[in-house]
Amino acid sequence: MPAANPTVVASSPSSLPAKSAPNKSGNSHRVGSTKMSPEALIAIIVGDALVLVLVSLLLYCYFWRNFSTKMRQGKGGSKLLETEKIVYSSSAYSSAQPGYERGRMVFFEGVKRFELEDLLRASAEMLGKGGFGTAYKAVLDDGNVVAVKRLKDAQIGGKTQFEQHMAVLGRLSHPNIVSLRAYYFAREEKLLVYDYMPNGSLFWVLHGNRGPGRTPLDWTTRLKIAAGAARGLAFIHSSCSPLKLTHGNIKSTNILLDKTGNARVSDFGLSVFVPPPPATSSAPRSCGYRAPETLDGRKLTQKSDVYAFGVLLLELLTGKCPSAVDNGGSGGGYGGLVDLPRWVQSVVREEWTAEVFDLELMRYKDIEEEMVGLLQIAMACTAASPDQRPKMSQVVKMIDEIRGVAGSPSHEAGFESTSESPSLSEDTYGASQ
């Protein structure tokens, strides 16, 4: 009696024993299984699905981490998704270092004092990066909120020069400027402390969240912001007349809004610390809206401020970013920006003035005359020749005429002098912020 063929079992526990089949000679042989049980098939499918889910989860975590990092770095002017600490290098203040000289916080009159260590302990949110460094919103332990600018890419001649210039800026107090409240100077660290403005910048309210669900910036508010910014800049120009102070960095991100919606000019007086442009460039990296005469490296002046303010008015009227205007390939760009004044002039020259204005303004009635009036002011400010541009005090009067607001004597007086001992501005330091 022939011995039975042994059964061979595959290494997989879910495999079935192979079946024998007779060959032509009548002898049987073993053949590998070609069928699979339903349980095994289900197990394989479930396993593949789990692997797919795991890979998808890993990819999601990877890309979300990168996205969060970009948001924390302030890309696109966005705020941080989570709170982070201001990172100040404490090694710069170590008494063990040769030539050590500890810096100190210097406050201007009427400001509540705090120490550098209070800033180091404060939770901070990055507000944005500019040509002079990074700005943070800092919440102190006592609940007060301040804005801190950490100067980085600034060319500072020395401690004495820095302190003298800060003393001038710290004296300036006006309802339409962001007051400098304190500063810190050390060899490796320069900090400026300002009032914190809770309602962001003109750039954000004008350009942010355009699309469904957006609340447009109405004409009355735009005109109010233009008037406030003009007053702030006129005050800077008229303060300390012998020095002929300039702003040097006028742009919509430097026009901030306080808790009542008033425009406040920020970042003024720092243009003196702008390093010279690289040999391959004729303009600094961050210089606001550049006047044509400054593109060859000439000094910034009050007239170049007027030009930049004119571009700001055009931005309010058109709703367009100067860097995002379609110039039709005509080569009107300069300094990395498209020439918004040249674009507007070309449209007006073709007698298509209505095409200039922001479509979001078309819903309001009986404002055409006011818009054209502000457009004429903007075009006067952006005249190619500096001598043809008006002074900022004149711009204030022209905007007030459009608004039907008579010039206040107190405001006019404010253009000619500055307080020797400034008090707090209308927003009490740290209140409701």
CB-based contacts of 289, cutoff 8 Å, min separation 6: 250, 251, 307, 308, 311, 312, 322, 337, 340
The Cβ-side half-sphere exposure at 6, using a 13 Å CA radius, reads: 2
How far apart, in whole angstroms, are the C-alpha atoms of residue 305 and residue 169? 17
**251 known ligand binder:** no
Check: CB of residue 275 under 8 Å from CB of residue 154.
yes
What whole-number distance in Å separates Cα of residue 184 and Cα of residue 163? 9
Give the span between the Cα atoms of 103 and 106, in whole angstroms: 9
How far apart are alpha carbons 401 and 395 in whole angstroms? Answer: 10
Count of alpha carbons within 13 angstroms of residue 326, beta-carbon side: 2
Torsional sign, CA 64, 69, 72, 78: negative
**Gap between the Cα atoms of 75 and 72, Å rounded:** 8
Q: Residues with Cβ < 8 Å from 190, sequence gap 6 or more?
A: 150, 151, 154, 156, 162, 183, 184
* Secondary element (H or E) of residue 264: strand 263-265
Contact 178, 199 (CB under 8 A): no
**Secondary structure of residue 432 in the 3-state scheme:** coil
Collapsing DSSP to helix, strand or coil, 191 comes out as strand
Rounded-to-integer distance, Cα 227 and Cα 219, Å:
12
- The tokens for 256 are 């901030």
**What residues have CB less than 8 Å from 187, skipping those under 6 apart?**
92, 101, 103
Distance CA 317, CA 371 (A): 7
Binding residues for ATP: 149
Question: Residues at the annotated binding site?
Answer: 149
